[in-house]
Amino acid sequence: MQQYLSLIKFSHTIFALPFAIIGFFLATQYFGYDFSWQVLGLVLLCMVFARSAAMAFNRYIDRDIDSRNPRTAIREIPAGVISPQRALLFVALNSLAFIITTTYINWLCFFLSPVALLIVLGYSYTKRFTHWCHLILGLGLSLAPIGAFVAVSGEFSELLPILFSAIVLFWVSGFDIIYALQDEQFDKDNQLHSVPAEMGKNKALTVSVLLHFVCALLVVGVGLYAGFRAWYWLGAIIFIGLLIRQHQLVKPNDLSKVNLAFFTTNGIASVVFAIAVLLELFLA
């Protein structure tokens, strides 16, 4: 089990899961839809199944690429810890479990489940033909809040959860570019596409800053649009501050703190922002 948790980087669930919880409680607390422990549990299961399928598929598709990259050669498949066949079976089982779980939520979630899988699994191919692959990853994770909202509401009826999804889209795209700085030369040498490989470190960091600037504007816009008060704005200030902090940590000529910026800073940002939004929804 530990090997498969490592394969899918289960700890990285911390990026999208808090936003799924935001989407769920936005529906129940802000818009007044009925609360259900069962639906909440099913939403969390969907998150786990979809993300597990996506990460395992990425490792399966990239197994040959990973074996050539010194940074990734220790991953489970190229290292021989998990066979490609077992990884693909893991993908199939999690994909099937995701679809089956949606049938217990509502029919809209069920009919949209193949679309969601197409996006989160399809991301793995995008680095082969577009340097904007980071946006596809952001799109995949951005399904979390709107998906959780639809699980409760059974309809696309409100703008607010879509705005939260947009926050995730620009936030994730921006920090994924920072993470991709580590493989700039490798991607060039292997005809792989990324913003750093296409534009170089300096311009890539500029693009990341611009994406996070849009993200910050959306965070502010959501607060104004929804009429949120103190708790939300406290979370917004911390979230935006951590966006700024990660760009202070990473320099074109010094990538030693990329992992700190990528995982620690963004993990804290996601959790703190979600807690602040929940406090706003329950206490305001």
Cross-strand pairs, 254: 251
Provide the domain count of the chain: 1
Beta strand segments in 82-149, E: none
Q: Give pLDDT tens digits for 115-166.
A: 999 999 999 999 999 999 999 999 999 999 999 999 999 998 899 999 999 9
Cα separation, 51 vs 171, in Å, equals 18
Q: Give pLDDT tens digits for 17-69.
A: 999 999 999 999 999 999 999 999 999 999 999 999 999 999 999 999 999 99
Q: Copy the structure tokens of residue 179.
A: 């993470």
Tell me the three state secondary structure of residue 254. strand
Binning pLDDT at 50, 70 and 90, where does residue 168 land? very high
Q: Give pLDDT tens digits for 221-271.
A: 999 999 999 999 999 999 999 999 999 999 888 888 888 777 889 989 999
Query: What is the extent of the structural domain holding 58?
Result: 2-283
**Amino acid symbol at 250:** V
> Could you tell me which of 239, 242, 259, 253 has the C-alpha nearest to residue 200?
253
Asked whether 138 and 171 are in contact (CB, 8 A), the reply is: yes
Asked whether 176 and 24 are in contact (CB, 8 A), the reply is: no
What's the pTM value of the predicted model, to 2 decimals? 0.95
